[in-house]
Amino acid sequence: MPLSTIIAPMDLRAQILEWRLERKKIAFVPTMGALHMGHISLVEAARKQADRVVVSIFVNPMQFGPKEDFGNYPRMLAQDIAKLEAAGVDALFAPIAADIYPEGFQTFVSNNAINNILDGRSRPGHFDGVLTVVSKLFNLVQPDCAFFGKKDYQQLKVISNMVRDLSFPIEIVGCDTMREEDGLAMSSRNLRLTPAERQLAPKIYQGLSLIAEAYKAGERDFIKLTDLFKEELAQVQEFRLDSIDIRTQDRLAAFEGDGGVDKPAVALVAAHLGSVRLIDNLEFGAQ
């Protein structure tokens, strides 16, 4: 079946209704475009679990802060369509902003507990923007299951919590981060790195790997573990570290006291390289 590109929400509804009447299971992969192998791996996971796969491309203005890269975010619809077609996607939903945010728009989805820690602290309003658009897209696509990358670890948690709290009848599936050969996590923002910055960028993954190795060798002190990362990144003066945190995998809670890292953990980092803010994370510790 060839890929159909759908712009209008009404047309999307008609297509979804048709598939529902045929009792097809529908999977959804929301994206902001500039697709790479990380997105395609989500599509592949989606195809294994459902009869029809819908991908959305919408660069969501609400999740960008006033000083962030909304204007510079890479947009390449023609290439994206070719990649989705090759990956066997059934429908691309590429709405226009006026259909997502009609005049008078005033209702938001927010999560105060998790929104204001980690990336939510550095990017005020970011996760409200993500939750609001994802809940709108869920209502429009009405999928049975939706696929998100673990690269945006906090986003995956915030969305899973929203689905639980607001009873969306949707299974959320988290998929492993795809990495370039040198370890750099795949991200649309990598396109904005200069060639020189691209050479330096894998340092983030090297630093995260040091944490996991030290934990394996018996280190449990979260301050010593994060210091290892800071020392590694400090070797490259072009980096400006935004945050490095070690949290529990289940609730993103901070480790406290003498027990150190005593639960399955994840190290989450955000760092600026030139004009690009990169994020990455690595899970470690007993499962």
Contact flag: residue 60 with ligand PAF (CB under 6 A): yes
E strand intervals along the chain: 4-6, 26-31, 52-57, 91-93, 145-149, 171-175, 239-248, 265-273, 276-284
Give yes or no: 39 in active site. yes
Q: Site mask, ligand PAF, residues 73-112, x = CB under 6 A? A: ----------------------------------------
Options 41, 63, 115, 281; binder of ligand PAF; rule CB under 6 A? 63
Q: Which is nearer to ligand PAF, 31 or 190 (CB)?
A: 31
Q: Site mask, ligand PAF, residues 20-49, x = CB under 6 A? A: ----------xxx-----------------
What is the token pair recorded at 27?
């999977």
Helices within 220-285 (DSSP H only)? 222-234
- Distances 205 to 176, 182, 229, 230 between C-alpha atoms, Å: 14, 9, 10, 12
Are the C-beta atoms of 74 and 80 separated by less than 8 Å?
no
Are the C-beta atoms of 268 and 248 separated by less than 8 Å?
no
Number of residues that bind ligand PAF (CB under 6 A): 10
Considering the complex, what minimum distance in angstroms separates the CB of residue 69 from ligand PAF? 13
Say how far apart CA 123 and CA 110 lie, in whole Å.
Answer: 14
Q: Which of residues 101-160 bind ligand PAF (CB under 6 A)?
A: 130, 133-134, 152, 155
Say how far apart CA 229 and CA 203 lie, in whole Å.
Answer: 10
Considering the complex, what minimum distance in angstroms separates the CB of residue 260 from ligand PAF? 32
Q: Which is nearer to ligand PAF, 130 or 269 (CB)?
A: 130
Considering the complex, what minimum distance in angstroms separates the CB of residue 172 from ligand PAF? 11
Are the C-beta atoms of 29 and 43 separated by less than 8 Å?
yes
Best CA proximity match to 163, nearest among 125, 128, 131: 131
Q: Which is nearer to ligand PAF, 90 or 152 (CB)?
A: 152
Considering the complex, what minimum distance in angstroms separates the CB of residue 200 from ligand PAF? 24
Say how far apart CA 80 and CA 86 lie, in whole Å.
Answer: 10
Query: Which of 36, 39, 126, 272 is the catalytic position?
Result: 39
SS3 at position 49 = helix
The residues assigned a catalytic role are 39
Which residues of this protein are in contact with ligand PAF, per CB under 6 A? Answer: 30-32, 60, 63, 130, 133-134, 152, 155
